[in-house]
């Protein structure tokens, strides 16, 4: 259960003001002090809770850390989409896509923290949009021309090539914009609560699992460019994230009371992907300089060299401001919309779980319904902005950054605002995106093997709420998962058998049947809601209990989740405002508590007057 912090309304002392405070114990938090703050999940001591404001230097350091934690997922999405967009040989445009997704993620994070669910949670590109997007781009009308697959024939600045990839990007943009309107409606109308009654673990498990499983071919092709380099990357990431995660590295730090001293930082636990990529990249550079890796373009392992993709650093501008419509006016087709809706629903359900987990870890009460509705609605606005800017994906809450809250023991939302500013700046500096686009392909493939494996396991982990000794549940999950792999594979190979003679209908059918997460999720939803089973057997009982909080005071809930800048309280405080599903409600218990407080003050005053009359004191003014 979530434990309510006792001093949520009080400010915290600056670290180092207490002479007895010391960071030298490995049991302490990775960053930040442990005095003050509050308690989070399972009574874990927090340095700063959600409403606190840490010192500016701590906000900057931890904000950059959150950005670096999300960087792996942010960079992966444009690199995966580049093949479907015919951009695998245009590194400069890939770097622009990376910068754009950084910039938009920063904007969406600011909107979510300030006006959305108001929890310290990072927003970024979502993998749930990748599967329907790639399915749409695999349609016969959108398949890349053969000449774009040959690096010697590609002229990235030619109008013909620009037209090829921008028409595909504009189609993806329009599809995301239309699908985001559905998410905005579901969020701000309060329908998310209604949908949660019918969607349980047996629907979510195959849906999220099938987000990553169809990407095995892409990850294998990249890693197969040099398996030695790919396994080296995997080795480093696994070493840091699993074996060395509890090893504290003493790093120099400064505080007023202790001056210069060493503090234990759980570096490997915080940055396993970043450290693994950096070391593998460095070793590839050494092998390139030593001419160990082949220089011939046709030789196996050539793409592991760092000089094959390094030219993009010189080509990229220092400053480039992404803007809406930078790839042209978005276009819309019916085919991609239905497939993208499956990604939107999966993203919403995943985000609701992230909200509760984030609240537990940052010392906040469980989010009320109006905060959840507002968070989903703001995520829909984020997807709309992502479509307008042209990131190639929507936005969602990042689970890995929620986990980082438990490591740093700092749950302040000001830290996430600092991280959003770091994303905005990185999106403006073009060299940052260019540097990340120049990572050798086998290194990226090794990272994908780990990342997609984790996403698959996260999907399967939803089964922990269900009774897996039940033959009913085993059948639903197994059949949904296997059908989600089999049917798209057959539809890709036999698309002519699905033709009805109506081109638009053919495209809709083909996209839906080639989107594994849609097929598996739909089958899981139908079977779970039609085959008889108890609430406990289906996992709905445990699912609801895990998403319920304690009886926190309404003042604490209001302090964390009400809109900022006095919206709805001091300003715009009209009578109909509180009837909107996404707006804070004035609970009856608030009035009751005010009555009790007034009655208590009245009784206290009466008792005081009685005591004074007995002693003969004159209390008249």
Pairing of strands 123-125, 38-39: unpaired
The mean per-residue pLDDT over the stretch 147-176 comes to 86
Provide the CA 163 distance to its chain's centre, in angstroms: 31
d(CA 406, CA 7): 19
The mean per-residue pLDDT over the stretch 444-453 comes to 84
The predicted-structure confidence for 316-334, as pLDDT tens digits, reads as follows 788 889 999 888 899 887 7
Q: Mean of the per-residue pLDDT values for the chain?
A: 78
Q: Is the pLDDT of residue 137 over 90?
A: no
Helices (H), 390-515: 399-408, 413-428, 430-437, 441-461, 471-493, 503-513
> Are 279 and 443 spatial neighbours (Cβ–Cβ below 8 Å)?
no
Q: Is the pLDDT of residue 23 over 50?
A: no
Provide the CA 470 distance to its chain's centre, in angstroms: 33
Confidence of residue 406 (pLDDT cuts 50, 70, 90): low
The predicted-structure confidence for 39-87, as pLDDT tens digits, reads as follows 544 444 566 788 888 888 778 877 887 887 777 778 888 888 888 888 8
Q: Which helix (H) or strand (E) covers residue 477, if one does?
A: helix 471-493
The predicted-structure confidence for 339-390, as pLDDT tens digits, reads as follows 788 788 878 877 887 787 788 777 788 788 888 889 999 999 999 999 999 9
Short-list 235, 238, 93, CA closest to 155: 93
pLDDT at position 384: 94
Query: What is the phi/psi pair of residue 124, to 5°?
Result: -160, 180
pLDDT at position 42: 41
d(CA 488, CA 511): 9
d(CA 495, CA 34): 60
The mean per-residue pLDDT over the stretch 181-200 comes to 85
292 or 557, which is more confident: 292
Q: Which of helix, strand or coil describes residue 247? A: coil
d(CA 243, CA 268): 9
Tokens describing residue 195? 């949908």
Tokens describing residue 416? 């996430």
Ranges 109-123, 440-454, 535-549: which has the least confidence = 535-549
Q: Is the pLDDT of residue 474 over 90?
A: yes
The predicted-structure confidence for 579-589, as pLDDT tens digits, reads as follows 777 777 655 44
Instruction: Assign 3-class secondary structure to 63-96.
Output: HHHHHHHHHHHHHHHHHHHHHHCCCCCCHHHHHH
pLDDT at position 5: 41
> Are 339 and 135 spatial neighbours (Cβ–Cβ below 8 Å)?
yes
Share above pLDDT 90 across residues of the chain, in percent, rounded to a whole number: 16
pLDDT at position 486: 93
Tokens describing residue 227? 């398996």
pLDDT at position 511: 77
- Residue 546 vs residues 190, 203, 205, 357: alpha-carbon distances, Å: 20, 17, 16, 9
pLDDT at position 571: 58
Short-list 283, 341, 376, 291, CA closest to 581: 376
pLDDT at position 183: 92
> Are 494 and 553 spatial neighbours (Cβ–Cβ below 8 Å)?
no
Short-list 69, 90, 93, 94, CA closest to 80: 94
d(CA 531, CA 439): 49
Tokens describing residue 367? 């989010």
Q: Is the pLDDT of residue 481 over 90?
A: yes
pLDDT at position 619: 33
Between the ranges 15-29, 162-176, 452-466, 512-526, where is the mean pLDDT highest? 162-176
Q: Is the pLDDT of residue 14 over 60?
A: no
> Are 131 and 458 spatial neighbours (Cβ–Cβ below 8 Å)?
no
pLDDT at position 473: 93
Query: What is the phi/psi pair of residue 468, to 5°?
Result: -85, 5
Short-list 531, 534, 539, 530, CA closest to 467: 539
Share above pLDDT 70 across residues of the chain, in percent, rounded to a whole number: 79
d(CA 277, CA 283): 10
The predicted-structure confidence for 82-133, as pLDDT tens digits, reads as follows 888 888 888 888 888 889 999 999 999 999 999 988 888 889 888 778 878 8
- Look-up of token digits 């309060």: 190
The mean per-residue pLDDT over the stretch 212-222 comes to 82
The predicted-structure confidence for 201-211, as pLDDT tens digits, reads as follows 898 888 878 87
């Amino acid at each position: 259960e979530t434990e309510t912090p006792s001093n949520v309304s009080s400010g915290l002392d600056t670290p180092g003001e207490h002479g007895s405070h010391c960071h030298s114990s490995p049991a302490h938090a990775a960053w930040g002090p442990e005095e003050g703050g509050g308690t989070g999940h399972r009574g874990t001591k927090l340095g700063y809770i959600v409403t606190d404001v840490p010192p500016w230097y701590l906000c900057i350091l931890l904000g950059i850390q959150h950005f670096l934690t999300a960087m792996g997922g942010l960079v992966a999405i444009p690199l995966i989409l580049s093949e479907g967009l015919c951009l695998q040989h245009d590194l400069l445009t890939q770097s622009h896509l990376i910068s754009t997704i950084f910039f938009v993620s920063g904007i969406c994070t600011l909107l979510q923290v300030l006006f959305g669910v108001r929890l310290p949670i990072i927003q970024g590109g979502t993998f749930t949009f990748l599967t329907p997007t790639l399915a749409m781009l695999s349609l016969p009308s959108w398949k890349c021309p053969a000449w774009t697959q040959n690096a010697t024939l590609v002229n990235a600045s030619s109008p013909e090539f620009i037209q090829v990839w921008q028409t595909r990007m504009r189609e993806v943009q329009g599809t995301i914009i239309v699908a985001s309107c559905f998410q905005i409606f579901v969020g701000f109308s309060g329908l998310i609560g209604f949908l949660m009654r019918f969607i349980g673990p047996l629907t979510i498990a195959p849906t999220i699992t099938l987000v990553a499983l169809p990407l095995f071919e892409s990850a294998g092709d990249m890693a197969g460019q040099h398996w030695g380099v790919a396994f080296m990357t995997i080795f480093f990431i696994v070493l840091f994230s699993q074996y060395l995660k509890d090893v504290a590295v003493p790093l120099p730090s400064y505080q007023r009371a202790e001056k210069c001293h060493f503090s234990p930082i759980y570096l490997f636990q915080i940055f396993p992907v970043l450290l693994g990529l950096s070391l593998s990249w460095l070793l590839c550079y050494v092998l390139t300089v030593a001419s160990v890796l082949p220089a011939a373009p046709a030789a196996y392992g050539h793409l592991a060299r760092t000089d094959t993709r390094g030219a993009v650093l010189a080509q990229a501008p220092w400053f480039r401001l992404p803007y809406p419509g930078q790839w042209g006016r978005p276009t819309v087709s019916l085919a991609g919309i239905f497939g993208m809706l499956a990604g939107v629903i999966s993203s919403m359900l995943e985000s609701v779980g992230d909200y509760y987990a984030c609240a537990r870890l940052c010392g906040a009460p469980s989010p009320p319904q109006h905060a959840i509705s507002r968070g989903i609605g703001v995520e829909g606005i984020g997807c709309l902005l992502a479509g307008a800017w042209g990131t190639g994906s929507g936005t969602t809450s990042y689970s890995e950054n929620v986990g980082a809250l438990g490591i740093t023991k700092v749950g302040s939302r000001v830290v996430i605002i600092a991280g959003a500013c770091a994303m905005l700046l990185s999106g403006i500096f073009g060299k940052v995106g260019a540097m990340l686009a120049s990572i050798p392909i086998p290194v990226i493939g090794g990272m994908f093997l780990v990342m997609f494996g984790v996403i698959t396991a996260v999907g399967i982990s939803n089964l922990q709420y269900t009774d897996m000794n039940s033959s009913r549940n085993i059948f639903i999950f197994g059949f949904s998962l296997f059908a989600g792999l089999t049917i798209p594979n057959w539809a890709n190979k036999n698309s002519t058998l699905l033709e009805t003679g109506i081109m638009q209908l053919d495209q809709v059918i083909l996209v839906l049947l080639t989107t594994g997460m849609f097929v598996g999720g739909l089958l899981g939803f139908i079977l779970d809601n039609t085959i008889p089973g108890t609430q406990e057997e289906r996992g709905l009982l445990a699912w609801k209990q895990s998403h319920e909080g304690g009886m926190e005071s309404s003042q604490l809930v209001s302090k964390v989740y009400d809109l900022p800048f006095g919206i709805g309280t001091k300003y715009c405080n009209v009578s109909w405002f509180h009837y909107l599903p996404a707006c804070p409600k004035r609970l009856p218990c608030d009035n009751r508590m005010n009555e009790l407080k007034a009655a208590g003050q009245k009784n206290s005053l009466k008792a005081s007057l009685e005591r004074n009359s007995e002693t003969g004191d004159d209390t008249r003014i």
